[in-house]
C-alpha cells in the first residue's frame, strides 16, 4: 500500500474500495487501466463544499504545491470547436493564450463554459479530472505535474479526491507532457 505524505488529515483508501467517490467516466476509465496502475491510486472523501483547491488544502492540511487542477479549454478553428484538458500545479496557471492556443491550433482559446465542461466530461464542476475524459481530447500535463511523486486531483465528483503519482497521469491516453504549460 502506498504511503501518502500529502494527505494531511485525510484517510486514504484504495480507489477500488471507494467507487462511491468517483464520477462514472472515472470508474469506466479505471476499469480499462492496468491493475498495477490502479493500485497506485488512493481515494479520499471530502466535504463537497471544500472541493475548490484553496479551501481543500486549508481545511485538510494538504500542500497546495501537491495539488493539480484540471481545466477544460475550448477554442475554434474553421467553425470547429476543439477541446483539451490541462493539468497544472495549483500554484500555477495554465498558459491558455500561448501554449494551449498553439497546441489546439486555434485563434483564441479560453476556459470552456461550466455547462459545456460538465456536459462533455460527465463530471461535476470542481471535480473534473484527467482520468476518464473524452478519448479525442489531448490531456496536456505540465512537466512538473508529470514529475511529481504524488498529487491530489479531482475524482469526477466534488465529494472526493484522488491521490496519484504524476508519472501515472503521463501514461493516460492522449497525455502530452509540456514544459512551461503552468506559469
CATH number at residue 158: 3.90.960.10
Q: Assign residue 120 a region: left if phi > 0, alpha if psi is -120 to 50, beta otherwise? A: alpha
CA-based nearest residue to 84, from 71, 67, 93:
71
Residue 102 belongs to some domain of the structure: yes
Contacts of 59 (CB under 8 A, 6+ apart): 47, 50
- In the predicted model, is pLDDT for residue 131 greater than 60? yes
Task: Using a pLDDT cut of 90, give the percent of the chain over it.
Answer: 97
Helices (H) and strands (E) in the chain, counts: 7, 9
Residue 109 belongs to some domain of the structure: yes
Q: In sequence order, what are the beta bridge partners of 42?
A: 14, 163
Residue 161 belongs to some domain of the structure: yes
Which pLDDT score is estimated for 1?
Answer: 57
Residue 5 belongs to some domain of the structure: no
Q: Decide if 31 contacts 117 (C-beta within 8 A).
A: no
Q: What is the pTM of this model?
A: 0.95
Report the mean per-residue pLDDT for the chain. 96
Q: Which domain holds residue 107?
A: 13-174
Residue 181 belongs to some domain of the structure: no
Residue 118 belongs to some domain of the structure: yes
| Domain count across the chain | 1
Residue 111 belongs to some domain of the structure: yes
Which pLDDT score is estimated for 120?
Answer: 97
Amino acid at each position: 500500500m502506498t504511503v501518502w505524505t500529502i494527505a494531511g488529515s485525510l484517510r486514504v483508501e484504495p480507489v477500488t474500495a471507494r467507487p462511491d467517490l468517483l464520477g462514472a467516466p472515472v470508474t469506466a476509465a479505471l476499469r480499462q487501466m492496468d491493475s498495477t496502475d490502479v493500485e497506485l491510486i488512493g481515494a479520499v472523501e471530502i466535504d463537497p463544499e471544500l472541493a475548490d483547491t484553496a479551501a481543500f488544502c486549508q481545511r485538510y492540511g494538504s500542500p497546495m504545491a501537491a495539488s493539480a487542477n484540471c481545466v477544460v479549454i475550448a477554442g475554434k478553428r474553421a467553425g470547429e470547436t476543439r477541446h483539451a484538458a490541462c493539468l497544472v500545479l495549483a500554484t500555477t496557471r495554465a498558459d491558455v493564450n500561448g501554449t494551449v492556443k498553439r497546441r489546439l491550433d486555434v485563434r483564441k482559446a479560453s476556459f470552456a463554459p461550466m455547462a459545456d465542461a460538465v456536459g462533455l466530461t460527465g463530471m461535476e464542476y470542481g471535480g473534473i479530472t484527467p482520468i476518464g475524459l473524452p478519448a479525442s481530447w489531448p490531456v496536456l500535463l505540465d512537466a512538473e505535474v508529470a514529475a511529481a511523486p504524488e498529487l491530489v486531483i479531482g475524482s469526477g465528483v466534488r465529494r472526493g479526491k484522488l491521490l496519484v503519482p504524476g508519472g501515472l497521469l503521463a501514461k493516460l491516453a492522449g497525455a502530452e507532457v509540456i514544459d512551461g504549460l503552468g506559469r
